[in-house]
Structure 1
Amino acid sequence: MMSGHDPHKGLHSDQGAIAGEHPGRAANPVIKVNDVAWLEFDKPDLARAEAFAHAFGFVTAARSADELQLRGSYAGAPCVVIRRGPRSRFAGVAFTAADSQDVLRLADTTGVNAARLPESLGGVGIDLSDPSGMRVRVVSGVHTLPALGDQPAPTFNWGNDVQRTNATQRPPRAPATVQRLGHVVLQSTKYRQCLDWYLHHLGLIVSDFKYFEGQRERGPTMSFIRCDRGSEPADHHTLAMTLGPTNRYVHSAYQVSDVDALAAGGEHLRDQGYDRSWGIGRHVEGSQIFDYWRDPDGFLVEHFTDGDRFDATLEPGWSPMTASGLAQWGPPVTKDFMGISLSRASLVEMRSMVSALRADNEFDLTRLRGLLKVART
């Protein structure tokens, strides 16, 4: 590391990787994506989805009878694309390539044809599937939505550094303006295969590895993965992946301006009758101040602010996966967030453990014991 300072040391990780462990990046990736572009969902009730989206802080970018595009205040593509479907499901993730040549290079390597995207999005893209079957779209040249007005930044008095005089602090109890999509977290029964696939095909690099306690010799079971932009800092993680008994969406995160916007926006969501899953707190990996909510279709979404940015010089940190290690401060992690509450989704997850143990994947009995231990540590 060029600075000589290891931010992992003494904070949340061991002394980096042990000889022979996963390096956290591919030696010769096909391309290097710049960022996550948007997420795609199918939902049967677009009006209900739009109502929650507005309370959460999105703005409608486009709306038809069968499609809803939601955006943040920053210039760029929509954050979320929701299409009408018979059931609620996560349909895939799109990443932004550096240019159209990278899309063609990826098409040539994978043998999958690139194609023009729908006119509502513009540009070109290629649709791939990761080893767990998740659809991964890589795009270039999509329409750029103009920037919108953002929430005014509050003026803070920091101890004796007084910046606000004869004026009060009154953050509005209103939706927190979503600025942009920050990251998505996915679970896979083929975690290691998926990890290597994303590093090789998209040029992503690992910021932090997590492993089940007592099982480090078997390799990591979760990774926080960022874009490789060289000397330009990128979010600590744009994608996070974890091993589990099903292939599924876990949550997605959307940046807001500051902690007042996040907290007051949460009060607005609560006033509207929506359910907080966990928060407010500050994470360890990524350092974000977070607040998690369930949308009406059961999807977990996060407001965050003040996240870490790393350039390409930082090597991965390594640490055990524990429930108590998810936050530096905040309320205890909830059963809902951990997926062990008595909900339909958690019951499906529990039943899937049996079928996963019988299938040809990375989720075996030892891994199951490690996963069950996480919630108790």
Structure 2
Amino acid sequence: MMGFGSVPPQDPHKALHSAEGALRGEPTGRADNPVVKVWDVAWLVFEKPDLDRAERFARDFGFTVTSRTPDELRLRGTFPGTDAVVIRRGPRAGFVGPVFQAQERPDLDRLAARTGARVKPLPGHRDGAVVELLDPSGLAVAVVHGADVHPVLPDQKPLVLNTGTSWPRVNTTQRPAREPSRIQRLGHFVFETPHFTTALNWYQETLGLLVSDFQFLPRERALGPTMAFMRCDRGGQAADHHTMALHLSPRTGYVHSAYQVADLDALAAGGAYLAERGYHRAWGIGRHILGSQIFDYWRDPDRLMVEHFTDGDRFDASVQPGWAPMTASGLAQWGPPVTRDFLGTNPSPALLREVYSALREPDSEVTAKRLLSLVRAMSS
């Protein structure tokens, strides 16, 4: 497939993890005529019972607080843009849903007309309009246009590095401050569902997301993919390798969300800062294979997983999906072994209840055989 210029793009998947791409009859990873093509993820909405505790962690993690009321905490990064996270007071900690950003106001009208929803003003006397939807798993998904945009804030500067025979730093030393990793922006979120294929099709057909990489269970490729890393379709302009990742699971819900920082030193020094304050590292530091990000995963005080990342891949719309087997060992190029905490495989009564429910649900894609394959993949 030709790119948007005169030179055919190189295949970023070739000889890395998937030299052959899709096989005959497999999903293309994109809808022919989506309702809209969202431009980015604007912010994520959470509920938590203790906003004071949530704010302390947010500041330690590297967010900037934009507003705080008794019932709501709004957080942003240093890059210009909307809020990155909105936390509402609620009876228990959990993920409410993502808010995507439409590039043009008519996108909202078209989305509302095609889905039977309404275009409404954003609540709280804020600028902008929103369409609120439910995805096939019951997740609250919104699309906004015209929301408040914050100006740029001072940022951590990437360190100047001496490498090989290139020594741009002479007569100076490196002393990165032991301080919070300053969040630049929201990067992506990951969601799990037993209705993987239905949800995947919905995000492609409704919001125009493109699949950057598919994963399938080892020796079960013929049954179709079980994970999809999806990016926004910006045509010839590159977007993050994934704005959303979706994977098959007996559970329905949030897995983690990821926030960009300046460089590896900002990530590592910020991790040391978090460790000194007693927070729990879920996994890291390492570099992923799919997406290439340098990562560091943490648990907040409510046990929700959040990620610092830097140096992620960016693809334009010309790149077709890669295909790779889903294995625990295939999660990272380097770094410590993946933890059970990150994989979510620690046994618990709640997990057993979710497995039982998924196996009994009529339209669930989780069968006993696939569940066993998932368990094997996460230990391989």
TM-score (norm 1): 0.98
SS at match of 1:9: coil
**Which of residues 64, 75, 86 is equivalent to 1:59?**
64
**Which of residues 367, 372, 380 is equivalent to 1:369?**
372
Aligned-pair distance for 1:4? 4.5
- Return closer, same or farther for 1:120/1:76 CA change in 2, 3 Å cut-off: farther
Q: Mind listing any 5+ residue stretches in structure 2 that lack a counterpart?
A: none
SS at match of 2:133: strand
Please report the RMSD computed on the Cα atoms of aligned residues, expressed in angstroms: 1.0
Partner of 2:287: 282
SS at match of 1:151: coil
SS at match of 1:313: coil
Partner of 2:21: 16
Q: Partners of 2:126 and 2:212 in 1: how far apart?
A: 31
SS at match of 2:247: strand
C-alpha deviations, 1:127-181, integer Å up to 9, x for none?
Answer: 1000000000000000001110001221111111111111100001100000000
Q: Mind listing any 5+ residue stretches in structure 1 that lack a counterpart?
A: none
Q: Number of aligned pairs?
A: 374
Partner of 1:351: 353
What amino acid maps onto 2:157 in structure 1? Answer: P
Partner of 1:263: 268
Q: Partners of 2:157 and 2:210 in 1: how far apart?
A: 34
Q: Partners of 1:294 and 1:229 in 2: how far apart?
A: 32
**Which of residues 308, 313, 316 is equivalent to 1:303?**
308
SS at match of 1:178: coil
What amino acid maps onto 1:42 in structure 2? Answer: E
Aligned-pair distance for 1:14? 4.2
What amino acid maps onto 1:234 in structure 2? Answer: A
Partner of 2:45: 40
Q: Partners of 1:113 and 1:244 in 2: how far apart?
A: 31
SS at match of 2:306: strand
**Which of residues 177, 181, 190 is equivalent to 2:186?**
181
SS at match of 2:29: coil
Q: Partners of 1:376 and 1:14 in 2: how far apart?
A: 24
Q: Partners of 2:256 and 2:238 in 1: how far apart?
A: 23
Partner of 1:244: 249
Aligned-pair distance for 1:182? 0.2
What amino acid maps onto 2:55 in structure 1? Answer: E
Counting only pairs closer than 5 Å after superposition, residues 51-200 of structure 1 correspond to structure 2 as 51-119=56-124, 121-200=126-205
**Which of residues 205, 224, 235 is equivalent to 2:240?**
235
SS at match of 2:143: strand
Determine if the alignment matches structure 1 residue 272 to structure 2 residue 277.
yes
**Which of residues 3, 25, 29 is equivalent to 2:34?**
29
Aligned-pair distance for 1:350? 3.1
Q: Partners of 2:47 and 2:260 in 1: how far apart?
A: 23
Could you tell which deviates more after superposition, 119-128 or 225-234?
A: 119-128
Q: Partners of 2:276 and 2:125 in 1: how far apart?
A: 34
CA contact (8 A) 1:73 1:149 kept: yes
Q: Partners of 2:145 and 2:16 in 1: how far apart?
A: 38
CA contact (8 A) 1:292 1:303 kept: yes
What amino acid maps onto 1:250 in structure 2? Answer: V
CA contact (8 A) 1:14 1:319 kept: no
TM-score (norm 2): 0.97
